[in-house]
Amino acid sequence: MNTHTGLSAEAAVMELLDDWAAAVRAKDIDAITAHYAAEIVAFDAIAQLQFKGREAYRQHWEACLAQCPGAMTFELHEEIIYAEGNLAFCHALVRCGGNEADAGWLRMSAGLRRIEGHWKLVHEHHSAPFDPQNGRALFDLAP
């Protein structure tokens, strides 16, 4: 992990991201969405351009988790966190899959605000790049 200005805020954000990733692995929808601000705007890797608001994004998470029958792989790598005052953003690579055998790599960016003392995600962006020649998502690229 690489960190920048404002060490204590960055440590708090790193802890939040670790908790959130653990909630994804546990498929605990309440624990996942507890980290989201009500106004979150999310760009997920699949299905729609955007999800506006915590409730819309929660419903999408529920649908995604229902498609993962096995032990969920969801690991953050190469995290870089920037934080100052009550604002932070981060980016990472995510090893992700419904089970270990089919796990691939995604990219993640996130924006956070400290609201009434608690860091909350106000933005998430997950994606795979695609091949412009054939329009196919490149899910098997490795860092």
Minimum Å gap between C-beta 53 and a second copy is 13
Give the angle 9-10-14 at the CA atoms, nearest 5°: 120
What 8-state DSSP symbol labels residue 72?
P
- Reduced to 3 states (helix: H, G, I; strand: E, B; else coil), residue 30 is helix
Torsion of CA 8, 61, 135, 94, to 10 degrees: 30
Q: How far is the CB of 105 from a second copy (least distance, A)?
A: 6
Tally of CB atoms within 10 A around 21:
18
Name the token pair of 13. 């954000």
Is 56 a residue that touches a second copy (CB under 8 A)?
Answer: no
**Residue 44 interacting with a second copy (CB under 8 A):** yes
To which H or E segment does residue 57 belong? helix 54-66
Residue 34 touching a second copy (CB under 8 A)? no
Residue in 8, 49, 66, 116 binding a second copy, rule: CB under 8 A: 49
Contact between 80 and a second copy per CB under 8 A: yes
Q: Choose between 30 and 67: whose C-beta lies nearer to a second copy.
A: 67
Residue closer to a second copy, measured from CB, 15 or 39: 39
Distance CA 131, CA 143 (A): 17
Residues 113-142 that bind a second copy (CB under 8 A): 113, 122-123, 125, 127-132, 135-139, 141-142
Phi, psi angle pair for 75, to nearest 5°: -120, 135
Residues that bind a second copy (CB under 8 A): 4-5, 41, 43-50, 67, 80, 82-89, 91, 93, 105, 107, 109, 111, 113, 122-123, 125, 127-132, 135-139, 141-143
